[in-house]
Amino acid sequence: MKKSLLPVALAGAALVLGACQQDNKDVIKKLDEISKKLDKIQATGVGGAAPQQRPAQRPGPDPTKTYGFPVDDLPSIGNPNALVTVVKAYEYACPFCEKVRPTEDQLFKDYGDKIRIVYAPFVVHPQIATLPQQAACAGYKQGKFKEMNDLLWEKAFKTRQFEAANLENLAKEAGLDMGKYAADMKEACPAWVNSKQAIASSFGVGATPAFFINGRFLSGAQPLPAFKQLIDEELKKAEAAVASGAPAASFYKSVIVEKGLKKM
């Protein structure tokens, strides 16, 4: 049976994106090129393509181990007491982060209150992704992360408008207090993004998107079955642990974080 070459194609595209850090115009051009490549891959498939050599990558987290990735003071969507926590390290200039969003929506449809997704900032294109990440932080601090997150993808990433003026308009559309928004963008949110990124780095994150499913690492915009396999395994273990007396409401913190590895 032939193995899918999609991960190889994605890795190659990611390598191109990672090299485009000269200026904003070049980065945005590469975003458009990679988005088109991803659309073509999804539309036509790559199953008949000739084998390609996978580019060398730096060592990352071990997918067989459980990491106690802390999620305190991070925005999340879903049941805060879910038995399965999916941590997503991401940025708003990453086409792969955007392409995996439909998968996130499907996971909520399939698992309901059994999962939550926690969003950990990890900026790999600082020229254009820093400000929108800080704007998401400002939305989070006012209890409107989901609204700001959706607007940033739809009206910043898709339009390639990452400048401060557009982000302010999005903050207004999300219903944020603009005085607090301005203050947080100046002081609290730059520090917050930097501190959270440092935590992700300590767990071996080096590219986006990167996921930790109840502490188990999954790299990149994987297809839905890859997520469901890990979620099913972790949900089964969590349910068994709860049946044996583990606290259901604080399962992630008391079991995954406290007992998991504290760094890569």
Residue 121 has pLDDT above 70, yes or no: yes
Question: How buried is residue 10: exposed, middle or buried, by Cβ count under 10 Å (0-12/13-18/19+)?
Answer: buried
Report how far apart, in Å, the C-alpha atoms of 229 and of each of 7, 91, 174, 235 are.
Answer: 17, 25, 35, 10
Q: Mean pLDDT throughout 27-35?
A: 66
Q: Residue 191: what pLDDT?
A: 98
Across 33-42, 53-62, 225-234, the highest mean pLDDT is recorded for: 225-234
Least confident of 37-46, 148-157, 239-248: 37-46
Token pair 């009206």 is found at 155
pLDDT class for 171, splitting at 50, 70, 90?
very high
pLDDT class for 60, splitting at 50, 70, 90?
confident
Least confident of 11-15, 24-28, 152-156: 11-15
Residue 45 has pLDDT above 90, yes or no: no
Q: Return left, alpha or beta for 51; rule: phi > 0 is left, psi -120 to 50 is alpha, else beta.
A: beta
Residue 168 has pLDDT above 80, yes or no: yes
- Least Cα distance to 118 among 263, 252, 258 occurs for 252
